[in-house]
Structure 1
């Protein structure tokens, strides 16, 4: 792909174009550079201070409500409206937008955290591909989704549904569609402000306009389902070769010998938790284990009135990939983020999940369905329950066997995720787009896709034919009756 100019647009959760770790790996994969080289430029931009304060206030409130089990869709929608306003601020920056236009990129890669990158790509008038960092069903971009075995996002169903499961999935589908429309409406003001009325884009159409969709998942994890030719699984992009862990970790692990150690990371959002109950219960659970516990948790945030268990090591940072690949690891306690789950599968490590928000519940549902581990809800977290679940997963060899089998599937792909991503992008750059990979169904209205117009026609034709036959039979019957009367007379 050398010689091709590619623009990467990341979701705008925080002010500015932030290059996340996923986006960084995407960039390095696309450009074919080694991680030490300068392979990209970062465009920074600042929002008005009052907007930053309002956004931070809304986001902190959303996280507090979510972690307290009180979140609603309205709280989430409020964040999306803030992102829509944030997108308007960016599109008003003519210096940035004109600079991007003048670069004349061959392709735009959008990360689907929010929908602003789609609008920027449309404004630039360049072809684009999309990267979905979360679970498959979080965004509807047109793939076939038979409701009999493809669970709707947030339904918490597997692909093996009984009758009532299919009823629930069918009803959840309508709820999902309504929520998708509402989510898209959060960017209506932005679209009206920055696009002329005639060719004004529609978000649902923009999603289907993407040349390719790269999904951060894998067949070893996701339920088998039909995919369109322009949809490619690239789960495991963050996978790196294992390196020796720093000596301080090695010294700690050595203390526990063959018992091994447990790795605990609950993601960046866990720092918002202000309650002391969660660390207290987790610490008490870890104290019951014979294994050592390496826990990513800022020591400065540790409650002063809770004595840290003797077998627990708190660290502000840890080399997660290298620790998951360590021969003495026994268990991974995770929030269920997609990248963490993919890394655990890559190294064949069973999991205990504590999902906190977003797609993490669905991810852990799949972990349980695949027998890679178990999960426990944050609001139900108690020391005894967590300790029992951890011992269950470590002592029952079925969990380890299942995740090792999935690791073999992951590793046996003929191409790495980065090779698949780069190969497919090279393909569409050489062929001038992915029109040959997109079925005509993406341009059809929903009633045509589901043949509702055909069914309506056949129903009307059948009823009309039945009505005509009835009329004809009535006429024949009356004629016969009239003939008999004339003969008798």
Structure 2
């Protein structure tokens, strides 16, 4: 809920003000004499810290593209605005919706950034106070936790680099107790279920009941990360379900007998599923997860089920559909091929580009002139105004001459 996000950002702004007032911390950072600072972009405080330190920085965007405007060209005809829940294939009404959503998104961006206004006024002298939207454009590089296998194709700037899959680790054999459980279901295989760690849906008894009932309809085994302490006392765990407090997600996704991944739709979980070519059923909970599942459905590697509409029968049908329709598996394998066939790994791209800007003294050569232009120049409003005035002036003059000729 957007109002809750504003409260979180307001608290981050308050904490930022406290941090910037700590001379011991700020002096220690200045004395380190960093060449470059690497920051994460959910909290705007690191942008203000680097501005105080007068140091160049690169930023990592851990969520999807659309959640933050950092200067990328975004044609509204085919680049979905965040929260529009659209794909890049928009009909007329889709483009209308995207256009209108853009203004809501811009207003909300301004509201979020305004939560740091008091911090900026308190710690930066008048006349040299930064504007957060301008600081986003100062990043030498933007590393985005995404990949062509997942996101829609869109214009990128030279200082924007995909590093989706950065967290991927070499897979290991799964523990023997899990192998024994998987073996009981033979060629039917198993389904993996994890619903993220940011929001604990284990606290929602009705959701657990519906999930458990849906899994009971499957011939596959189900390995489910769910705390035993949260399990309802009046509900018997389905006989084909194994509950675990923790599980090796990536290793299980790489297992040859996995048939389906049921997930909340978090970015890293989806990237791991794509890495291993596993189709998905997504149950978005909050944040960018619904947007992520729009992309999963558009790529034909899975389907989404709304949490508020979650019913055991519906979920069971969706899961069976994904498992039995081989087109989903084929699409997931095709996405995995795109993801794996880059000439460099995500880590190599990240390190290589950082090394490049350190050697060349920054990334000015990677940034367009638009970052220094006033907004009216960038959108050619001055040119349009001039041409409109010239046209109207010419029509007025022609009218006067015609009137004079008639007289």
Q: Which residue of 2 aligns with 1:301?
A: 230
Pick one of 104, 107, 111 that aligns with 1:178: 107
Q: How does 1:90-101 map to 2 (within 5 A)?
A: 90-101=19-30
Structure 2: runs of 5+ lacking an equivalent: none
Q: Which residue of 1 aligns with 2:342?
A: 413
Q: Which residue of 2 aligns with 1:87?
A: 16
Q: Is the 8 A contact 2:262 2:280 kept in 1?
A: yes
Q: Which residue of 2 aligns with 1:233?
A: 162
Pick one of 319, 330, 341 that aligns with 1:390: 319
Q: Which residue of 1 aligns with 2:127?
A: 198
Are 2:270 and 1:323 equivalent residues in the alignment?
Answer: no
Question: How much has 1:113 moved relative to structure 2?
Answer: 1.6
Question: How much has 1:271 moved relative to structure 2?
Answer: 1.9
Q: Which residue of 1 aligns with 2:218?
A: 289
Q: Which residue of 1 aligns with 2:281?
A: 352
Are 2:188 and 1:259 equivalent residues in the alignment?
Answer: yes
Please give the secondary structure, in 2, of the residue aligned with 1:408.
helix
Residue deviations 1:211-261 (CA, integer Å, cap 9, x gap): 000100001111000001100111000111111111111111111111111
Partners in 2 of 1:333 and 1:404 — Cα distance? 17
Question: How much has 1:119 moved relative to structure 2?
Answer: 1.1
Q: How does 1:46-445 map to 2 (within 5 A)?
A: 71=1, 73-271=2-200, 274-445=203-374
Question: How much has 1:446 moved relative to structure 2?
Answer: 2.3
- After superposition, the Cα gap between the structure-2 partners of 1:86 and 1:272, relative to the gap in structure 1 and judged at 3 Å, is farther
Question: How much has 1:475 moved relative to structure 2?
Answer: 1.2
Structure 1: runs of 5+ lacking an equivalent: 1-70, 479-489
Question: How much has 1:297 moved relative to structure 2?
Answer: 0.8
Please give the secondary structure, in 2, of the residue aligned with 1:268.
coil
Partners in 1 of 2:367 and 2:63 — Cα distance? 22
Pick one of 370, 380, 385 that aligns with 1:456: 385
Larger deviation: 87-96 or 161-170? 87-96
Residue deviations 1:188-213 (CA, integer Å, cap 9, x gap): 11111111112111100000000000
Partners in 1 of 2:226 and 2:26 — Cα distance? 40
Question: How much has 1:84 moved relative to structure 2?
Answer: 0.9
User: What RMSD in Å do the two structures reach over aligned CA positions?
Assistant: 1.0
Partners in 2 of 1:330 and 1:160 — Cα distance? 29
Q: Which residue of 2 aligns with 1:485?
A: none
Question: How much has 1:322 moved relative to structure 2?
Answer: 0.5
Q: Is the 8 A contact 2:36 2:55 kept in 1?
A: yes
Tell me how many residue pairs correspond in the alignment: 407
The runs of at least 4 aligned residues of structure 1 exceeding 6 Å deviation read none
Question: How much has 1:445 moved relative to structure 2?
Answer: 2.3
Question: How much has 1:75 moved relative to structure 2?
Answer: 2.2
Partners in 1 of 2:5 and 2:40 — Cα distance? 19
Q: Structure 1-normalised TM-score? A: 0.82
Question: How much has 1:272 moved relative to structure 2?
Answer: 5.7
Between structure 1 and structure 2, the one with the greater Rg is 1
